[in-house]
Amino acid sequence: MRGARRERRARRLRRPVGSPSVSRIYLSPPHPSGREVELVRDAIESNWLAPLGPHVDAFERELSALVGVENALALSSGTAALHLALTVLGIGAGDEVACSTLTFAASANAIRYTGATPFFVDCDAATWTIDAALLDEAIAGRRRAGARVRAVVAVDLYGQCCDYDALQEVCAGHEVVLVQDAAESLGATYRGAPSGGQAALAAFSFNGNKIITTSGGGMLVGADPDLIAHARKLSTQAREPAPHYEHSEIGFNYRLSNVLAALGRAQLAVLGDRVAARRRINARYRALLADAPGISFMPEAPYGTGNAWLTCILVDPERFGADREAIRLALEAVDIEARPVWKPMHLQPLFSGYPVAGGDVSARLFERGLCLPSGSALSDAEQDRVVAALRSASCR
Ligand SMILES: *Cc1c(COP(=O)(O)O)cnc(C)c1O
């Protein structure tokens, strides 16, 4: 009874007031569990309206337990988590940091915030994540050129983990530290372990389009309590322990609000359901499009299970009879949102001056790749609409 009421309320919350019955299908909209209002009300009524409080503490504990990493720090964004990760590792001006080129700009921006310089590494066509062999060569190459290479930012793409056994070997060989950009991979696994425990530090995002959301927020996790304690201090303006305001290093205002942490707890409680729903949607797209010529899917790596945050297809324009952009426009014409796969960083005007190892694999994925609506509340009927519109784009 309570459960049914909760579901109805959740459904009402998802539909904007006054929207027609056939509404726009978004790429990855928020999906309330139904407990958000109750927990946010508690945050308000208890008057913990601050970037600290009992919901922040509980959210950190609950996420830490779920990902199996001892220490967690709730922050205002995934980008802030990446920035603090690199900062507490001592990365700064004069250092170089390797980064997956196929990613969202935040991964590389965080490197620039520290004053360090990124260099980009192509992905492996079999996983769409950073190519470990190429990374090995790239670090050696930058070292030979005199660069002080200090760290690697490895990005778990569209909910699929990188091959961390291979990356850890490369990083150990070159004595560089590994940072996991797990913004897209909460709920995924690598060799049976939850995503987030594969590197010295990992960053999650709870932005509105991610698998669970606080409307905006992030979390930094790590096994080393000193690193997380330092990040915690930096996230609150780096106050020294003193009754007055005492500062000896540059701090930031990066903490998560207690109100948003309440939202996060309501969302985290249903993470398992959300992963199952997205994986089901992914499997259903594969089944529905199995006979579509020239359409293939992002491969699932054998070493783990992705959270299927976004389902991505590759379009062979000759075989399908339309290219990726024609399909995107055909979907948009019937009010369905789809997005090209991330434009690689080495092709971005902002990062065009930085070194890149390889680049053709990710450039081709950008040219041919399309992310389809993948929200965990997507109904079969809505998904059928997406598939019909996609097929109609072919001029065959
Ligand atoms: C979303 C995302 C981020 C940034 O997270 P925010 O919470 O939006 O700051 C970083 N890296 C990747 C790969 C992302 O997808």
Instruction: Please indicate whether residue 155, judged by its CB atom, sits closer than 6 Å to ligand 1.
Output: yes
Q: Which amino acid is at 24?
A: R
Q: Which amino acid is at 50?
A: A
| Rounded CA separation 376/310 (Å) | 10
**Tokens coding 35:** 């407990």
Instruction: Please indicate whether residue 103, judged by its CB atom, sits closer than 6 Å to ligand 1.
Output: yes
Helix (H) or strand (E) holding 182: none
In a 10 Å sphere around its CB, with 0-12 CB exposed, 13-18 middle and 19+ buried, how is residue 373 labelled? buried
Give the nearest ligand 1 atom to 216 CA. 7
Ligand 1 centroid to Cα of residue 184, in Å, is 7
Q: Which long-range contacts (CB under 8 A, 24 or more apart) does 235-243 make?
A: 235/73, 235/75, 235/80, 235/84, 236/51
Task: Name the nearest CA neighbour of 35 among 66, 2, 6.
Answer: 6
At residue 200, the pLDDT reads 98
Q: If phi over 0 gives left and psi between -120 and 50 gives alpha, with beta otherwise, what is residue 217?
A: left
Give the nearest ligand 1 atom to 217 CA. 7
Cβ atoms of 211 and 185 closer than 8 Å: no
Q: Which residues contact 24 (CB under 8 A, 6 or more apart)?
A: 335, 336, 337
| Rounded CA separation 25/251 (Å) | 41
Out of 112, 181, 254, give the residue to mutate to test ligand 1, the one with the largest number of ligand atoms within 8 Å of its CB: 181
At residue 396, the pLDDT reads 73
What angle, rounded to 10 degrees, do the helices at 78-88 and 225-235 form?
A: 120
Give the nearest ligand 1 atom to 209 CA. 1
Instruction: Please indicate whether residue 264, judged by its CB atom, sits closer than 6 Å to ligand 1.
Output: no
Look-up: residue for tokens 């990005």? 155
Instruction: Please indicate whether residue 106, judged by its CB atom, sits closer than 6 Å to ligand 1.
Output: yes
Q: Which long-range contacts (CB under 8 A, 24 or more apart) does 291-295 make?
A: 292/320, 292/390, 292/391, 292/394, 293/319, 293/320, 293/321, 293/396, 294/318, 294/319, 294/320, 294/321, 295/320, 295/390
> Which domains are present in the chain?
2-30+271-392 (3.90.1150.10), 36-268 (3.40.640.10)
Q: Is 120 helix (H, G, I), strand (E, B) or coil?
A: strand
Task: Name the nearest CA neighbour of 218 among 203, 236, 201.
Answer: 203
Instruction: Please state, in angstroms and as integers, the Cα–Cα distance from residue 262 to each residue in 37, 157, 219, 259, following that order.
Output: 9, 27, 14, 5
The residues that are catalytic are 210
At residue 1, the pLDDT reads 40
Mean pLDDT by 10 residues, the chain (396 residues): 54 49 91 97 96 97 98 98 98 98 98 98 98 98 98 98 98 98 98 98 98 98 98 97 95 98 98 98 98 98 98 98 98 98 98 97 98 98 98 89
Report the 10 Å Cβ neighbour count for 326. 16
Tell me the H-state helices in 101-196: 105-113, 132-144, 164-174
Instruction: Please indicate whether residue 104, judged by its CB atom, sits closer than 6 Å to ligand 1.
Output: yes
